[in-house]
Amino acid sequence: MVAVAARTSRVTGRRFRSVTLGVLGLVGFALALEIGPRVGVVPIEFAPPTSQILVSMGDLLGEASFWTALLDTLRTWALGLGIAMVAGVVVGVLLGSLPIVRAATATTVEFLRPIPSVALIPLVIVLYGPTVKSTLVLVVYAAFWQVLIQVVHGVADVDPVARDTALAFRLGPWARVRYVVWPTALPYVITGFRLAASVALILTITGELVIGSPGIGKEIDTAQQSNAVRTVYALIVVTGILGVLANLLTRFVERRVLSWHPSTRGEEVVAA
């Protein structure tokens, strides 16, 4: 009992210490960015100190246009991610379960995947103009491959004994996907989801910034054009917060969906 209590208190102590250090780190970081511009390490007119950025963030929160832009960004992100997830999972399960299809498409996938999605920017501008559709194409293209590759690997990972057992018990194709393939592939699907979520956010903001479809990215561009330096920084910080929230969300989903899974998978993105 005593030993357990001592260990618990040691663990809590270490925990407490690392939280304190983390808070210290954040405060120090904010202070460095406050003091840096004030003492002239960087020009103050182009790099406002933390306090000023926070003040203009407060101003933003009171503007209706900011909330509209934020909602636009979130909607594009969620929609693009959703389409990419569904397409990636369906195509991935098909490719993974039919070896002949997989072999026939391997080269094509290998060639299409490394094409940078931003290469499509001029194309979507002439085809769809500065609309949400243009940005969605970029988001879906970039996020789709992340999901697809993970799902294909996940489906290939099915235990041969489980597969043969399912065949011996004459499970139909649908039941095999549901009870054998899906549980095996699920951790991979979730990894794909996590990777795709962050890529989709990057491309959403990029599309808005470069193509000019409505959202936070466009607001940044507008603010920069009108030389509203503090607003530019405030909006950039908002995108950072969005990124943190997206990471927290995907981690939460991962924990919820995979609570039954015996092992937590590594981070490695497997290259085909």
CA atoms of 164 and 190, how far apart (whole Å): 26
Residues whose CB is less than 8 angstroms from the CB of residue 85 and which lie 6 or more positions away in sequence, other chains included: 143, 147, 192, 193, 196
- Written as one string, the DSSP assignment of 65-109 is HHHHHHHHHHHHHHHHHHHHHHHHHHHHHHHHH-HHHHHHHHHHH
Of residues 23 through 52, those in contact with other proteins by CB under 8 A are 23-26, 28-29, 42-43, 46-47
Choose, by CB under 8 A, the member of 111, 169, 174, 260 that binds other proteins. Answer: 111
263 binds other proteins (CB under 8 A): no
Nearer CB in complex with other proteins: 21/175: 21
> Taking CB under 8 A as the rule, does residue 269 contact other proteins?
yes
Of 131 and 177, which has the nearer Cβ to other proteins? 131
DSSP string, 109-153: HHHHTTS-GGGGHHHHHHHH-SSHHHHHHHHHHHHHHHHHHHHHH
Among 120, 162, 171, 257, binds other proteins (CB under 8 A): 120
Q: Residues 99, 155: contact at Cβ < 8 Å? A: no
Residue 167 contacts other proteins per CB under 8 A: no
The angle at the Cα of 168, spanning 163 to 170, to the nearest 5 degrees, equals 95
Is 98 a residue that touches other proteins (CB under 8 A)?
no
- Contacting other proteins (CB under 8 A), which of 117, 134, 135, 213? 117
Binding span for other proteins by CB under 8 A among 16-24, 84-92, 163-171, 257-265? 16-24
Segment near other proteins (CB under 8 A); pick from 85-93, 149-157, 239-247, 257-265: 239-247
Contacts of 117 (CB under 8 A, 6+ apart): 138, 141, 142, 203
Query: To the nearest whole angstrom, how small is the minimum distance from the Cβ of residue 195 to other proteins?
Result: 9
Closest among 79, 78, 66 to 214, alpha carbons compared: 66
Write down the least CB distance from residue 254 to other proteins, Å.
16
- The count of residues interacting with other proteins (CB under 8 A) is 64
Contacts of 161 (CB under 8 A, 6+ apart): none
Rounded Cα–Cα distance for residues 88 and 143 (Å): 9
DSSP at 234 = H
Give residue 160's Cα distance to chain centre: 32
Instruction: Candidates 2, 3, 161, 271: give the one binding other proteins (CB under 8 A).
Output: 271
Max CA separation in the chain (angstroms)? 75
Question: Which x/- pattern over 179-218 shows residues binding other proteins (rule: CB under 8 A)?
Answer: ----------------------xx-xxx--xx------x-
Q: Binding marks (x or -) toward other proteins, 49..88, rule CB under 8 A?
A: ----------------------------------------
Residues at the interface with other proteins (CB under 8 A): 17-18, 21-26, 28-29, 42-43, 46-47, 100, 103-108, 111, 113-123, 125-127, 201-202, 204-206, 209-210, 217, 220-221, 224, 229, 232-233, 235-236, 239-244, 246-247, 267-269, 271
